[in-house]
Structure 1
Amino acid sequence: MANAKLLPVLEPETVAPCCPPLTERTLTAEEAVTTAAMFKALSDPVRLRLFSAVASHEGGEACVCDISDVGVSQPTVSHHLKKLKEAGLLTSERRGTWVFYRVEPSVLAAMGQALHHYGG
């Protein structure tokens, strides 16, 4: 790698939290669409495994090369990662030939907040 060409580091995309706790008030139509897209993306077992692999990876981010062993082909992995990005669950950043994925802490916090139940 001594002769590797250095590429500029791109700013990672930003992800906005989705919505208030479901127990706080009725969601707006827009919040419901956003929240449903997130949960729909996670309803696929392969996507859930990929999301978990990224979220639990050391350093909070994972190269696609480190998480693609989920029992499906590389094009299918790319498809599922694209769906997770479209749902606002992952951000990505290209570094050379590899793409690194990250789950923004705000996304995990928003998902937890949406499902938080008051008064147990």
Structure 2
Amino acid sequence: MSLQISCKDELAEVQSEEALKAEVTNSFAARTFSGDSLMLQNPYSTENMTKAYQILKDKNPEYGFEEFNVRTTHQYLKFTPSNEEEVSLLKSDSTIHYFDYRLDAEYKKEYLENRIPDNDSIPVYY
């Protein structure tokens, strides 16, 4: 029977804070953490979609992907109505879906379900 003891835990590598920030900044997903949410980079931006398309082409040359320009088809907008009349105007178009929270963020577990609406203010819509 043999027993080997090591002082180094290979799973517990320590990274400097700067290296960790750089890794998060360079990732496709995370940008910054602000309270109850993690702000995300838009994975559907034309820049990210162009990179993803190029990766697909490079990894699968046998499929003969066509050349085309990735273009914007939808807009992500922020609306800040100043009164109920403006809210009604926004909601009068039933083809547009509005959210009262950011769509480019991940939220802590159950944050959205447990929010208490502020009856005295008009929400921002996305």
Calculate the TM-score normalised by the size of structure 1: 0.27
**Structure exhibiting the larger radius of gyration computed from Cα positions:** 2
Greater share of residues in helix: 1
Calculate the TM-score normalised by the size of structure 2: 0.26
